[in-house]
Structure 1
Amino acid sequence: MNEKIVVIGAGMAGLAAARTLHEAGYEVRVLEGRDRIGGRTHTDYSLGTAVDLGASWIHGPTGNPMTPLAQKFGVGGSHTDFDNENGDSLLVFDHDGTPLDVAEYTEGKTHFVAMFTHLTASQLFTLPPGASVAEVMALPDLTELTPLQRKGYDFIGSVSMQLLDAADPTDVDWQMELDYLTLPGGDLMLHGGGYGQIVRGLAEGLAIETAVSVHHIAHHENGVTLETSNGRYHADRVVLTVPLGVLQAGAITFDPPLPERKLTAVSRLGMGLFEKLALRFPHRFWPHHPHYFHFLPANEQSLFGSWINLARFTDEPVLVVHNAGSRAALANQLDDDDLLAAAMTALQTMFGADIPAPTSYVRTRWGDDPFSRGGYSYGRLGSVRADREVLAEAINGRLFFAGEATHVHYVATAHGAYETGVRAAREIMASR
């Protein structure tokens, strides 16, 4: 092909677009603002094992494009039991450190899931237009739940929903939540080389320039001109895969400006916040068998509710804790020393005061990263499904859009991002 294509962003969407076009014979160049590839799929190896600081799971391995890619590039994975179906995948501690009965606690989660399925038309009729997930959660009669079941219900409705959306339930439109689909097969956590190994495999043989940030895009009938930190680039067509948060910040200007309908979509959708802290210890002081620990929050400002036991999957003494939404924002206000001290207080509450200090750690600050400006997108109050469709629309056959925020159903996932990159590449091929 004689056409020159520039892909902006070397995350999952950008690499998918570039790989698809490259294999179809196009001349493709990828520009990435960071000094590394991968975008929000970023694997750290400093703790003696792969720790995915961004995307970590293949959500629904059956029919998922990430599954054959993991197999192709030799990435291992283990199923994680979010629902505690095998009965020993979860430990639960109250906010004072009291161990709780897991079976009774998880019945509260079962009730939460059933609640979304069995809400009656009369109940939904009472909701105002654009109601939040929090308002829907308040509809069911919970008087029959035991106090412990209610704790499980409340944890799923607060901490777990924050992790799903990277936003608080009060900020998420409940109808947009229903658009989120899952593939069958459970959840597969990658280990070995993690997502980084898939990223490197996809990038092999592609022309990628890192540390090149794009700040202006001029698109016209004869092509596209890019103004960057490394000078000017010209292309016949461009695939823009930057996260929603970058578009919302106005970090890239356009000539002519983006259509009003696309700007409206950008402003209405939400960019969530999801942060991780990974800790390596001199030895494991917690049980080996659970996949997760739940540390029930004392209040809405309590951090460190959801822990992942990497020792179960890698035999390395590493724990990873997640904070999302407003809790992630609170975590980002803490410097490293204060964040570590708070995390250790949580662990000491669960496992005793004599546990060892971590030997090393790594934390994320996706909210402060100028090339992400958040974790992943969500259906903010006031947004509609059509906003994602509009965000995905190409402009004049020259400027194409991809990224997880442009997927209607598999938003906030690596496979969703990948599929949008392939979609944008096929749009280019079909427009010749």
Structure 2
Amino acid sequence: MSTRPLHVGIVGGGLSGLRCADILIQNGARVTILEARDRIGGRVHQEDVGAHLVDLGPNWIHGTGNNPIMSIAEATKTSTHDPEGGNILLSRDGALVDADLATKASEFMWTTIEQAFEYSNKHGESIPADRSLFDFFQEKVQQTGLSPAEQALYLDVCKLWGAYVGDPIERQSLKFFRMEECIDGNNYFVASTYKRILEYVSRSAREHADIQFNQPVSRIDTPPRENGEQHQVTLTTTTGDRYAFDEVVVTCPLGWLKQNQHVFHPQLPDRLGQAIDSISYGRLEKPSGSLDLLAKE
């Protein structure tokens, strides 16, 4: 019986792949990560803009209640800001909006969001699918008696909900709004970027895994089991390189899976293929979770 450590290949060096590597390494596995880019982190990435380091991907921690990312931010002394501590709002012409008016506009948005949930739950079956969340906001703001300028300001604030969800409120159906799930806790802006958080999550992989950059995977071959034993899984990259592993874990964005199901040989089970085809995702370039698949499935 072989005593050598299990050799696991991980497709993708984003946060999912890095965390997966950490767990496997802790349990004695030998880990190789194949990453398509020339860096780790996936959509968690920073660039220097105007002599300032800025996040190009996620720059918030949504739902701080029992969120492990918040714990990592605290451990790494990452600077965060809770916007609920005060409302700073600029008008369309760049003027600072009165603090009281800004607070009232923000309170209106959250109150109306709650009303929209209740209305969608109660009347969902009869609401036309093309009636948008924006339509609901507009109806409510017209009932306030505010001036046209104040109504326009309130609607602009309401549009910020689209940034939370990843789709403009004009495109969110009121009929299906009841299916939206809110998360517990506050929403913190990561003022000092995700850099330290990424460094913390990736430490184990950087120190103990073999990370191969510029290696987009173009084919995953999983031989059938024979007599209860499985031959090694083979990964082929666009550069023509081939890697063999005892097991493979694929961590990648849903959009990649939608376009690249053909890389799996044999093809994925129908239940997974149908799930990939059916699930949608927001339009903002922010990670909303990865669909992790064991290649042996």
- Give the alignment's TM-score, normalised by structure 2: 0.77
Correspondence for 1:162:
162
The CA deviation string for residues 285-337 of structure 1, in whole angstroms up to 9 with x for no partner, is xxxxxxxxxxxxxxxxxxxxxxxxxxxxxxxxxxxxxxxxxxxxxxxxxxxxx
**Given the superposition, is the C-alpha separation of residues 109 and 177 from structure 1 closer, same or farther in structure 2, using an over 3 Å criterion?**
farther
Post-superposition offset of 1:137: 4.2
What SS does the corresponding residue of 1:33 show, helix, strand or coil? coil
Asked if the contact 1:108/1:150 (under 8 Å) is kept, the reply is no
Of the candidates 14, 25, 41, which is equivalent to residue 38 of structure 1? 41
Q: CA RMSD in A?
A: 3.3
- The letter for the 2-side match of 1:64 is N
Post-superposition offset of 1:202: 4.7
What SS does the corresponding residue of 2:104 show, helix, strand or coil? helix
Matches within 5 A, 1:308-323: none
Query: Aligned equivalents of 1:177 and 1:203: distance in 2?
Result: 40
Correspondence for 1:208:
211
Correspondence for 1:3:
6
What SS does the corresponding residue of 2:89 show, helix, strand or coil? strand
Q: Name which of structure 1's ranges 124-133 and 3-12 shifts more when overlaid on structure 2.
A: 124-133
- The yes-or-no answer on 1:253 pairing with 2:263 is yes
Query: Aligned equivalents of 1:161 and 1:377: distance in 2?
Result: 16
Post-superposition offset of 1:125: 4.2
Post-superposition offset of 1:263: 2.9
- The yes-or-no answer on 1:110 pairing with 2:107 is yes
Query: Aligned equivalents of 1:188 and 1:105: distance in 2?
Result: 18
Post-superposition offset of 1:179: 4.2
Query: Aligned equivalents of 1:23 and 1:212: distance in 2?
Result: 25
**Given the superposition, is the C-alpha separation of residues 177 and 79 from structure 1 closer, same or farther in structure 2, using an over 3 Å criterion?**
farther
**Given the superposition, is the C-alpha separation of residues 99 and 116 from structure 1 closer, same or farther in structure 2, using an over 3 Å criterion?**
closer
- The yes-or-no answer on 1:226 pairing with 2:235 is yes
The CA deviation string for residues 232-291 of structure 1, in whole angstroms up to 9 with x for no partner, is 1122222211111212223762112223333333233334443xxxxxxxxxxxxxxxxx
- The letter for the 1-side match of 2:55 is D
Q: Between the two proteins, what is the percent identity of the paired residues?
A: 24
What SS does the corresponding residue of 1:92 show, helix, strand or coil? coil
Number of matched pairs: 280
Correspondence for 2:190:
189
Query: Aligned equivalents of 1:34 and 1:127: distance in 2?
Result: 45
Post-superposition offset of 1:12: 0.6
Q: Who wins on radius of gyration, i.e. which is larger? A: 2
**Given the superposition, is the C-alpha separation of residues 99 and 106 from structure 1 closer, same or farther in structure 2, using an over 3 Å criterion?**
same
Post-superposition offset of 1:2: 3.1
Query: Aligned equivalents of 1:251 and 1:19: distance in 2?
Result: 26
Post-superposition offset of 1:76: 2.2
Asked if the contact 1:271/1:375 (under 8 Å) is kept, the reply is no
Of the candidates 78, 81, 98, which is equivalent to residue 79 of structure 1? 81
Post-superposition offset of 1:101: 2.9
Post-superposition offset of 1:33: 0.5
Asked if the contact 1:43/1:195 (under 8 Å) is kept, the reply is no
Matches within 5 A, 1:346-425: 374-376=285-287, 394=293, 398-399=296-297
- The yes-or-no answer on 1:126 pairing with 2:89 is no
Query: Aligned equivalents of 1:36 and 1:247: distance in 2?
Result: 20
Post-superposition offset of 1:173: 5.4
Query: Aligned equivalents of 1:80 and 1:34: distance in 2?
Result: 33
The CA deviation string for residues 97-144 of structure 1, in whole angstroms up to 9 with x for no partner, is 454334224423322322232334554443146975446546647412
Correspondence for 1:346:
none
- The letter for the 2-side match of 1:13 is S
**Given the superposition, is the C-alpha separation of residues 252 and 210 from structure 1 closer, same or farther in structure 2, using an over 3 Å criterion?**
farther
Query: Aligned equivalents of 1:67 and 1:97: distance in 2?
Result: 32
Query: Aligned equivalents of 2:53 and 2:141: distance in 1?
Result: 44
**Given the superposition, is the C-alpha separation of residues 66 and 183 from structure 1 closer, same or farther in structure 2, using an over 3 Å criterion?**
same
Asked if the contact 2:78/2:197 (under 8 Å) is kept, the reply is no
Asked if the contact 2:39/2:213 (under 8 Å) is kept, the reply is yes
Asked if the contact 1:41/1:195 (under 8 Å) is kept, the reply is no
Asked if the contact 2:220/2:265 (under 8 Å) is kept, the reply is yes
Of the candidates 65, 68, 90, which is equivalent to residue 68 of structure 2? 65
Query: Aligned equivalents of 2:58 and 2:126: distance in 1?
Result: 37
Post-superposition offset of 1:22: 0.7
Post-superposition offset of 1:225: 1.8
**Given the superposition, is the C-alpha separation of residues 162 and 131 from structure 1 closer, same or farther in structure 2, using an over 3 Å criterion?**
same
Correspondence for 1:90:
88
Post-superposition offset of 1:212: 0.8
Asked if the contact 1:166/1:272 (under 8 Å) is kept, the reply is yes
The CA deviation string for residues 141-192 of structure 1, in whole angstroms up to 9 with x for no partner, is 741251455334422443x233223323344456477544334244151417
Structure 1, gaps ≥5 residues long: 275-373, 379-387, 400-432
